[in-house]
Each structure stands twice: as structure tokens, then as C-alpha cells.
Chain A
């Protein structure tokens, strides 16, 4: 049975794992928040600093979602898919790139910015970081759509896919949110388990139930 074994949610300068806030960095700008959250993980992954904000957001959500489980070691990463969605595609970085080419007298487009002018690069950064080589898809929808993600994940797992990283990763001019959930096959799910079977209702409930700090 397709089962959600862990999820991480980032919003309002907070990071929550399985519904509970584990990091709260108030009074930080969006950029400062991303950098401080990365430093809290004590990783050595210099490429993080080269990513655009959306990829940094996805990177952090994935790290936190995988922190206290064996998702990355007990699943075949060649049969693990990544299915993300958002409402703004890569618009934030598209605008940065556009601003660098508006003035013909000061025309210096940055290759390092340009490479992030596609939303599925967000998937690429996660895939590279964790050596995930299965199927992938990036959907654009007006808001988080549990039905869309659930249906697509169920379709994938009817073929060669055995596990899925799903999510909503949206970064648009300081309005940001990341919600990443890990799905794998779990047989004989205990009624009292913290794991949830993946369906439209369960994923929508998890997305909405994080208790943010005020």
C-alpha cells in the first residue's frame, strides 16, 4: 500500500517535520532564513549556495523529511520518483534573469541564474543530491492539489516506481512554502501507526494540519 512515512513543511520562517515545528527562525529575511536553516543541518554541500531560492527550499524540505527515517537507504533509488508541483513554476528566477537582460547597455545575463529558469531544475537538484534516478514530473497548478499528486503517484507505482518523493515547492517574491512527503510501499499498516495511507484526503489533511508557531 502506498504510504506516507514522513513529511516536512516549510513556511513562515519555520520548519515542521510530521506536523511539529522543529526550527523557528523569526525576524529573518527569506534569504537569511534559508541560509540559517541550511547551517543548522551542519552539512557540507557548497552547491547549496549556488541554488536559487526555490531549489534551496526544496533541498531543505527534503533534508528534514529524510532526517529520522531510512527512506533513502531502504528504497531502490533507481525506482524512486520525484513528483513536485507549484503555482509559479520558476517565475521568481525568470524575473531575475529578465532584469539582467533588460538594459542593452548593461547586458550581463548570468549562466548560473539562467540554469534555474525551469521549475524541474528543482527536481534535478534533489535527484543529484540524493542519487535518485527514477521517474519525475513537475506540475503547475493554482494551489496545492492533493488529488493531482495522489492520482499521479498511484499511476507511477502501478509501473516500475516503488517509492516517491512528492511535494509542493513554491517560491515567489518572498512568498514561499515547501511541503515534501515521502511515499513507499508498506504492507500491513498498523491502525495506530503514524504512517498514513496515501490518498487525497490524507495528504490534504497533512498539508493543512501543521501547527505553526505564532
Chain B
């Protein structure tokens, strides 16, 4: 799980152009939206693309996004639960 979390941090930084953020700055359990990384609605769409592009996961129900994208850890858990890690 730790390796997946680290990989995800790098992919999030790259996909979301978080040029001033380093992987070690991201607390895997911190909220991605609001506080934490302070991501916006466009970033949310980019995270959906990230899951599809790198892990082949399509989110069928947009309502699930709120739970999946709560933190890097919840994203990693979701990827693992889909058997894509």
C-alpha cells in the first residue's frame, strides 16, 4: 500500500501541475479538497482522468467520487479494491 501511495503522490503532482508541492508535502490522510492540497473542481475531473489513464478504472457513479477522492490513502484503497494495484 505504501508503494502505491508514493506512486499516486507523484502522479497527482504531475497530472495536476502542483509545481510547488513535493511528494513528502502530501499527507496521505489529509483531505485533497478544501484544506490539504486545496484542489478545485477542475482538479477533481483530472483525478477521474488519472484513475482511468493509469489504472484503467472508470468511476461509474459520480457520487462515489466524494469517498474515493477524500485523500491519497482512500484513492489507493479504492485502486486496490478494484484489483488494479
Q: How far is the CA of A109 from the CA of B52 in the complex (A)?
A: 11
Contact, CB under 8 Å: B52 / A108: yes
* Shortest beta-carbon distance from B51 to chain A in Å: 11
Q: A46-B20, A49-B19, A50-B17 are in contact. Are A111 and B53 (CB under 8 A)?
A: no
**Closest chain B residue to A49 by CB distance?**
B19
Contact, CB under 8 Å: A111 / B16: no
Q: A108-B52, A110-B49 are in contact. Are A46 and B18 (CB under 8 A)?
A: yes
Instruction: Return the contact of B45 from the options A35, A46, A111 (Cβ within 8 A).
Output: A111
Q: A49-B19, A49-B20, A50-B16 are in contact. Are A108 and B42 (CB under 8 A)?
A: no
Instruction: Return the contact of B42 from the options A46, A49, A109, A111 (Cβ within 8 A).
Output: A111
Chain A residues with Cβ below 8 Å from B52 are 108
Give how many A residues have a beta carbon under 8 Å from the other chain's beta carbons. 10
Chain A residues with Cβ below 8 Å from B45 are 111-112
Chain A residues with Cβ below 8 Å from B17 are 49-50, 112
Q: How far is the CA of A112 from the CA of B40 in the complex (A)?
A: 11
Q: Which of B41-58 contact A (CB under 8 A)?
A: 42-43, 45-46, 49, 52-53
* Shortest beta-carbon distance from B41 to chain A in Å: 9
A189 adjacent to chain B (CB < 8 Å) = no
A155 adjacent to chain B (CB < 8 Å) = no
Q: How far is the CA of A108 from the CA of B52 in the complex (A)?
A: 8
Chain B residues with Cβ below 8 Å from A109 are 49
Q: How far is the CA of A166 from the CA of B53 in the complex (A)?
A: 41
* Shortest beta-carbon distance from A90 to chain B in Å: 16
A41 adjacent to chain B (CB < 8 Å) = no
Chain B residues with Cβ below 8 Å from A110 are 46, 49
Chain A residues with Cβ below 8 Å from B46 are 110-112
Contact, CB under 8 Å: B18 / A49: yes
* Shortest beta-carbon distance from B35 to chain A in Å: 14
Instruction: Return the contact of A111 from the options B18, B19, B20, B49 (Cβ within 8 A).
Output: B49
Q: How far is the CA of A140 from the CA of B45 in the complex (A)?
A: 30
Contact, CB under 8 Å: A108 / B49: yes
Q: What 4 additional pairs, Cβ within 8 angstroms, besides A49-B19, A49-B20, A112-B17?
A: A35-B19, A108-B52, A112-B46, A115-B42
Q: Can you pick out 29 interface pairs between chain A and chain B where the beta carbons lie within 8 Å of each other? A: A35-B19, A46-B18, A46-B19, A46-B20, A46-B38, A49-B17, A49-B18, A49-B19, A49-B20, A50-B16, A50-B17, A50-B42, A108-B49, A108-B52, A108-B53, A109-B49, A110-B46, A110-B49, A111-B42, A111-B45, A111-B46, A111-B49, A112-B16, A112-B17, A112-B42, A112-B43, A112-B45, A112-B46, A115-B42
